[in-house]
Amino acid sequence: MSTPDPQRIDRRLAIKWIVAAGAGAALIRVRPLRADGAAAAPGSPAPAQAGYGTDPGLMKPYKPGDFWPLTFTDAERREAAALCDVIIPAEAGSPSASSIGVADFVDEWVSAPYPDNVRDRRTVIDGLAWLDGESTRRFGAGFAEATQAQREALCADISAEAPKDTEPGKASRFFRKFRDLVAAGYYTTPAGMKDLGYVGNVPLAKFDGPPADLVARLGLTDEVRW
């Protein structure tokens, strides 16, 4: 069985999407939450099964699986981990996504009972099944068993499409959703925050503001009034 060149692949064949339901916009917040922002509408349907409730113990550290059972099979978990690491690979000084538990976060996310999560569950579970099938069709090996080069070739092909409702767009939309979840999961960990350059969340005796040389470089020295 020959391996098709992903650059030449017929997309109508390659990207047959099986999810009918719309995946919607990115549901991970694109901005930090604020105390006076808008969120879910009043009377939003209550979760079909219990979530963590309106008075969870905030002081207790939480682990995926504490509030609701997880979803991924062993095979899905391996595939999700492989996809995590195409999306956020290890680099010098920063770990890969799967090595710090991001696949478990994706599992936690798609297992939660809230409406956004229920919607994403379908997208992710069906998307993983499709990706595995596509990998087998192209390479004779499921996504978790494919070589890194094969995984990257497949992802390059999917991500080149804009996420939308057409057949190839749906594959891209799954990829965008999965990418968003991986990025959210990764950049909220201590390792991910360090990679971004977030250096806060430590008590300080005083707040110095931005470094003076940075202020000068941007021509803003005259704006510092206090």
State yes or no: residue 5 binds other proteins (CB under 8 A): no
Q: Minimal distance in Å, beta carbon 62 to other proteins?
A: 5
Q: Minimal distance in Å, beta carbon 55 to other proteins?
A: 5
Q: Which of 28, 125, 129, 141 binds other proteins (CB under 8 A)?
A: 28
Across the strands, what pairs with 94? Answer: 91
Q: Which amino acid is at 205?
A: A
Q: Minimal distance in Å, beta carbon 44 to other proteins?
A: 5
Q: Minimal distance in Å, beta carbon 27 to other proteins?
A: 8
Stretch that binds other proteins, among 1-9, 13-21, 138-146, 181-189 (CB under 8 A): 181-189
Q: Which of 47, 75, 121, 136 binds other proteins (CB under 8 A)?
A: 47
Q: Which residue has the tokens 């504490």?
A: 66
Stretch that binds other proteins, among 8-16, 122-130, 135-143, 185-193 (CB under 8 A): 185-193
Q: Minimal distance in Å, beta carbon 167 to other proteins?
A: 16
Give CA–CA dist 87/99, Å, rounded. 13
Stretch that binds other proteins, among 4-12, 54-62, 71-79, 137-145 (CB under 8 A): 54-62
State yes or no: residue 115 binds other proteins (CB under 8 A): yes
CB neighbour class for 112 (10 Å; exposed up to 12, middle 13-18, buried from 19): buried
Give the CA-trace dihedral at 160, 165, 166, 171, to 10 degrees: 50
Give CA–CA dist 46/51, Å, rounded. 9
Taking the least distance from each CB to other proteins, the nearer of 86 and 103 is 86
| CA dist list (Å): 31 to 27, 124, 131, 192, 223 | 11, 23, 30, 17, 26
Instruction: Judge contact between 64 and 70, C-beta under 8 A.
Output: yes
Give me 18's structure tokens: 């099986």
Residue in 11, 34, 109, 123 with CA at minimum distance from that of residue 65: 109
State yes or no: residue 82 binds other proteins (CB under 8 A): no
State yes or no: residue 69 binds other proteins (CB under 8 A): no
Stretch that binds other proteins, among 14-22, 69-77, 108-116, 125-133 (CB under 8 A): 108-116
